[in-house]
């Protein structure tokens, strides 16, 4: 059974469960086509948002948008890895551990980075509302870049320690030559890793949840005191609420693997459908919501983003129209 400490596991191997029935070619083709098309659509959206951020200096000089675009890039990398692992699991049931290891390490890192990014964005909103006079020199571009570095470092510690424990408990040379299904639970099998990750995850999510609750309560108090612009306070309060909703979605990646294993034991004849639904709910939908919630919801970013898209559409359509006229 997958543990609570398997945030980046994508357990879609057709050989892990002896009770699995073989899927028809049409079913496999449909599932993989849908996964790739969703990835492609989200990649286009994420790419256009990154392009808008890079084209306009007003966003590059604002720590709020720097954190936002970091979240977009992080989610795009995670979605690419998860979708790739899903598709590869159908093409190759097992691959060499040396090829699987960097994919799993990066997938775990990006999964763990998302809640920390949400906490960082909530803190920035809290400072802007509760300490408006200090926001300019507290939340700077340098602060945002430093915070991103800290987030990446904290997110990298658990997967790197998993790798070190695996190398200590197993023969390093044979470990990388072993052919396995590319899954975190198959790559890192030591029970010590399980217990370590359970403790880390408890501290990790408790800290982020407390940060979101604290910032939300302080923003509410600021709204009651009416010391700031009511519209700005309302937006900040709603933003922190959205951070909380996203945190719950992130938590699914840690909880669902265990629930999925239980459901497969209860309904083995529907194991493939259960895995596919969990893949959509846990890895696809949260990655879809992030850019739409923050990019479309932000009036300033939305205005620039839609204008850039309109310009690109005109530049694409104009040559085609002139060629037809010619």
Other CB atoms within a 10 A radius of the CB of residue 301 amount to 23
- 92, part of any domain: yes
Angle at 9 between CA 198 and CA 169, to 5 degrees: 60
- Is residue 259 helix, strand or coil? helix
In which domain, by residue range, is 219 found? 25-325
- Is residue 180 helix, strand or coil? strand
Contact call for residues 121 and 67 (beta carbons, < 8 A): yes
CA 194 from chain centre, in angstroms, equals: 22
CA 247 from chain centre, in angstroms, equals: 10
- 309, part of any domain: yes
- 17, part of any domain: no
pLDDT digits (tens), the chain, 326 positions: 344 444 434 343 433 433 344 567 787 788 888 888 888 988 999 999 999 999 999 999 999 899 999 999 998 998 898 888 888 777 776 788 888 889 889 988 998 898 888 888 888 888 888 888 888 888 999 999 999 999 999 999 989 998 888 888 877 677 778 888 787 777 888 888 878 888 888 888 888 888 888 887 887 777 666 555 666 667 767 777 777 777 777 777 666 666 776 777 788 777 777 777 877 777 777 777 777 777 777 888 989 999 998 888 877 665 655 555 55
- 2, part of any domain: no
- 206, part of any domain: yes
Q: Is the pTM of this model over 0.95?
A: no
β-strands 179-180, 95-96 pairing: antiparallel
Token readout for 94 is 């097992």
| Number of folded domains that form the chain | 1
Q: Which CATH number do you get for residue 319? A: 1.20.1070.10
């Amino acid at each position: 059974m997958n543990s609570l400490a398997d945030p980046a596991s994508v357990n879609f191997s057709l050989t892990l469960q002896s009770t699995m029935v073989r899927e028809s070619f049409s079913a496999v083709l449909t599932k993989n086509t849908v996964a790739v098309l969703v990835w492609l659509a989200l990649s286009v959206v994420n790419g256009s948002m990154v392009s808008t951020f890079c084209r306009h200096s007003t966003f590059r000089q604002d720590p709020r948008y720097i954190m936002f675009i970091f979240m977009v890039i992080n989610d795009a990398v995670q979605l690419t890895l998860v979708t790739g692992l899903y598709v590869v699991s159908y093409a190759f049931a097992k691959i060499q551990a040396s090829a699987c290891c960097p994919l799993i390490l990066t997938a775990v890192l990006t999964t763990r980075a998302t809640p920390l990014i949400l906490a960082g964005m909530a803190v920035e909103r809290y400072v802007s509302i509760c300490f408006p006079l200090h926001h300019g020199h507290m939340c700077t571009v340098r602060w945002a870049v430093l915070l991103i570095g800290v987030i990446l470092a904290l997110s990298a510690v658990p997967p790197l320690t998993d790798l070190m424990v695996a190398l200590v408990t197993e023969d390093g040379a044979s470990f990388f030559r072993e052919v396995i299904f590319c899954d975190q639970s198959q790559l890192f099998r030591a029970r010590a890793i399980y217990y370590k990750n359970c403790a880390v995850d408890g501290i990790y999510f408790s800290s982020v949840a407390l940060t979101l609750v604290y910032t939300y309560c302080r923003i509410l108090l600021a709204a009651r005191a009416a010391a700031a612009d009511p519209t700005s306070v309302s937006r900040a309060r709603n933003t922190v609420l959205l951070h909380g909703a996203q945190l719950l979605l992130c938590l699914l990646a840690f909880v669902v693997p265990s629930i999925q294993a239980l459901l497969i034991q209860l309904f083995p004849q529907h194991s493939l459908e259960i895995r596919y639904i969990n893949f959509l709910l846990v890895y696809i939908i949260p990655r879809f919501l992030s850019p739409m919630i923050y990019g479309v919801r932000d009036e300033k970013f939305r205005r620039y983003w839609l204008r850039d898209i309109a310009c690109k559409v005109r530049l694409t359509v104009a040559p085609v129209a002139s060629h037809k006229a010619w």
